[in-house]
Amino acid sequence: MARFTDETKERVKQAADIVEVVSPYTDLVRRGKDLWGLCPFHDERTPSFKVNPQDKLYFCFGCQASGDVLRFVEEKEGLSFPEAVEMLAERYGVEIERESEDPRAEEARRRRARLWELLERTAKFYERYLWEAPKAHKARAYLEGRGLGEEVLRRFGVGMAPSAWDQVLTGSQRAGFKVDELQAAGLVQKGRQGGDYDRFRSRITFPIRDQRGRVLGFGARALSAASKPKYLNSPEGELYRKSNTLYGIDRARGPIAKARRAVVVEGYTDVLALQQAGVEETVAIMGTAITPEQLTMLAGLTDVVVLALDADRAGADAMIRAQRVAGGKGLDLRVAAMPEGEDPADMLEAGGLDRFHELVEGAIDLPSFRVRTALGRGDLGSVAGRERTLAEVAPVLAAMGEVVGRDELIREVADRLDTDPSLVSERVRAAPREGSAEPGAAGNGAKGSTPQVAKPPLTPRETRERALLAMCIADPKTGRPFIERLTEEHLSESGRPALRWLREHLGNPMAGLPRDDEALTALITQLVMSSERVPASAGAMQLNFDLLEQQRLEDSITAAQSAGDYEAGARLSRERAQLTDRIAYAETLGA
């Protein structure tokens, strides 16, 4: 896709309200000219995440996450840079200009935009039909019977497809859409005689949206028991892919980040019922097993995923794969087993919100869940039954690897089977590893996703160089000579690109940062933000410079010694001694 003009990027940044963009992910409190909150990038109890509304930057003193408003959108909404620009441009009404565009890419982009428009239009049509058409009374009665109120139904744009064979087809054609666009959007399909007809008829429609809220397709529930299948979805196509879609994600994103967990259910109505009951961190996998792509989407928002699924499904192979993928992403995947034959919507309808909360709070990791299910089902009264149960749980325990909870679980099994833990351990060691782990199973991962773990602490050298560089930014006039005296040997590997950048851009370090250099962008952003709180004085700069110089001398001495150049070593050692004296003197002055 053609690049945005620099002016477009600047205008988008100017127009965007970073506080509004960040707020869905964490509650911000104003302190001075900055706002503070719990970091949406790592788990913490006291706020170390700062947002600067003037410069539209954020910075976390805990995990060092940092960037501008565009970067925040990329990271938290899982978007690529162009998507982040588009999304904010749309939201803040900025017109996008591009450098002259490759005609084919331009054409593809136009087509996608047309399909989105068509789907959005159709969703609106279905929604109106549900509320206005007399023939939709049965659908309304069904939804009401499930305890779903008008407010939540409208919030999710639930609608109804009429029974006619061509209402969407002809209506869309009149509005200027072509049959091939209707087919590509999954709204129309070919009959046996070659004619085209509406795919969804006499069904309750649930628009399926992407993270940005754009309609990708529909899930549609039959109104009469006779029509099959009960649920009909949009076909996979240019826009809709089941494996990387989560129903409700556009609404649940912020709540998931705030609640620090995602609740995953199976059906559309489960999502609606839970949203209505205030459990807003809920999304649905639409009857499939959770996929690596879906886990990746959630991993960008939280590190706890609770699957509120039918107990039988939770043991299935797909779940075991999901467990491995989750492990690879640092996600804590738990199971809240729903009672047999009861889904969350049923439970809430029967007034069981507290029960649902209890189940979710009590969710356990998948291996524990499977072991306990086996213990619960097994015939532990007979030797043969105990043996079968042990044979069933041993591979599960073996697959856990040497993790903290395993010994506890082994003791639990031994206790229930009335045997010795060492015997269970032995069986675990001998057990076949179920579905050996494939490191590549995690898929390609989301674009722009960064590890959510806190970064390792800075080395003393990094701390010093960052302090010095931040001071130079804070007071460029005094800082300039230090920037010129610093060499690459003074700095850590990560600090060098920043030095190179600042040599050219000390006056306005944020302008024109190369987009494809994430490390540089992050570091410069951090430096700019911390430059506002470092007391910059020539004395403090000199001291930091000297400390870096001392480090450089030490490196050179080591290098000289290992090269056998004792003369150079001695000279450098004298230099170091002088410098050490100077530093000690400066420190007594409290520079």
User: Residue numbers of the site for Zn ion (CB under 5 A)?
Assistant: 39, 41-42, 60, 62-63, 65
d(CA 52, CA 216): 35
Query: What would the two tokens of residue 487 be?
Result: 């060499």
Least distance (Å) between residue 19 CB and Zn ion: 17
Asked if residues 354 and 377 have their Cβ atoms less than 8 Å apart, the reply is no
Give the strand pairing for 262-265 and 282-284: parallel
d(CA 445, CA 463): 32
Nearer to Zn ion, 62 or 82 (CB): 62
Query: What would the two tokens of residue 107 be?
Result: 């054409």
Residues contacting 125, CB < 8 A, separation 6+: 159, 168, 171
Nearest to 310 by CA among 283, 280, 287: 287
Query: What would the two tokens of residue 178 be?
Result: 């072509």
Least distance (Å) between residue 457 CB and Zn ion: 13
Sheet with 304-307, strands from edge to edge, namely 282-284, 262-265, 304-307, 332-335, 364-365
d(CA 484, CA 482): 5
d(CA 365, CA 337): 11
d(CA 266, CA 424): 35
Least distance (Å) between residue 261 CB and Zn ion: 17
Least distance (Å) between residue 26 CB and Zn ion: 10
Least distance (Å) between residue 454 CB and Zn ion: 7
Sign of CA dihedral 79, 276, 221, 127: negative
d(CA 275, CA 233): 22
Least distance (Å) between residue 42 CB and Zn ion: 4
Nearer to Zn ion, 26 or 492 (CB): 26
Nearer to Zn ion, 49 or 126 (CB): 49
Nearer to Zn ion, 173 or 449 (CB): 449
Nearer to Zn ion, 63 or 540 (CB): 63
Nearer to Zn ion, 41 or 125 (CB): 41
Nearer to Zn ion, 374 or 528 (CB): 528
Residue 372, Cα to own-chain centre: how many angstroms?
Answer: 31
Nearer to Zn ion, 63 or 182 (CB): 63
SS3 label, residue 484: helix
SS3 label, residue 257: helix
Least distance (Å) between residue 496 CB and Zn ion: 25
Phi then psi for 25, rounded to 5 degrees? -95, -25
d(CA 478, CA 370): 65
Least distance (Å) between residue 36 CB and Zn ion: 12
CA angle 110, 294, 265 (to 5 degrees): 115
d(CA 98, CA 181): 25
Least distance (Å) between residue 246 CB and Zn ion: 25
SS3 label, residue 94: coil
Cβ neighbourhood burial of 585 (10 Å; 0-12, 13-18, 19+): exposed
Least distance (Å) between residue 520 CB and Zn ion: 20
Nearer to Zn ion, 65 or 279 (CB): 65
Least distance (Å) between residue 69 CB and Zn ion: 17
Nearer to Zn ion, 233 or 302 (CB): 302
Nearer to Zn ion, 58 or 268 (CB): 58
Nearer to Zn ion, 63 or 273 (CB): 63
**Angle between the 476-485 and 538-562 helix axes, to the nearest 10 degrees?**
10
Least distance (Å) between residue 263 CB and Zn ion: 24
Asked if residues 330 and 298 have their Cβ atoms less than 8 Å apart, the reply is no
